Amino acid sequence: MYSTKGHNFVKTMLRLLEERETVEVVSDQIGTPTWTRGLAEVLWEMALLGCLRGVYHWSDAGIASWYDLAVSIAEYSYELGLPQRPAPIFPVETGDYPLPAKRPAMSVLDKTASWRALKRPRFTGDQHSR
């Protein structure tokens, strides 16, 4: 999840692109980056329905590796002039990158029940390129 507040991957990448000569990002962990405001809006919409029971998953549409997301962040921020000279980003595998906790290779959620409950079409494609 990412937002304008707190610590998150987007803000960390923006800082690293500015500070470092090169940046290495894991390319074999796939997930769905989710904007906190969008999640909050969906939670509010679900609460207003009042009749939902059970477990509902939600995240934004599309999938991306951490590397894919980092490249998108770099490209978009460069178009906006931030930073002036972004560091090149290199993909690395999870086994080559020291992490304090083991991470799943695929963490994409099945959102079918949520889409049905909210009467939304099933989204496809990559919305994380922007």
pLDDT tens-digit series, residues 8-18: 999 999 999 99
Domain-embedded: residue 2: no
Each residue's pLDDT tens digit, 22-38: 999 999 999 999 999 99
| Cis, bond preceding 83 (omega within 30 deg of 0) | yes
| CA-wise closest residue to 74 among 121, 114, 25 | 25
Domain-embedded: residue 1: no
When pLDDT is cut at 50, 70 and 90, the band that residue 122 belongs to is low
Does pTM top 0.95 for this prediction? no
- The boundaries of the domain holding residue 54 are 9-129
pLDDT of residue 129: 46
Distance (Å, rounded) from C-alpha 55 to C-alpha 106? Answer: 20
Domain-embedded: residue 110: yes
Mean pLDDT of the chain: 88
Domain-embedded: residue 17: yes
Contact between 79 and 86 (Cβ < 8 Å): no
Rounded-to-5 percentages of helix, strand, coil across the chain? 40, 10, 50
pLDDT of residue 19: 94
pLDDT of residue 125: 44
Query: Quick check: 46 pLDDT over 60?
Result: yes
When pLDDT is cut at 50, 70 and 90, the band that residue 39 belongs to is very high
Domain-embedded: residue 4: no
Instruction: State how many domains the chain has.
Output: 1
pLDDT of residue 35: 92
Cα–chain center distance at 102: 18
The backbone torsions φ and ψ at residue 91, rounded to the nearest 5 degrees and listed phi first, read -75, 140
Q: What is the CATH number of the domain that holds 87?
A: 3.40.50.720
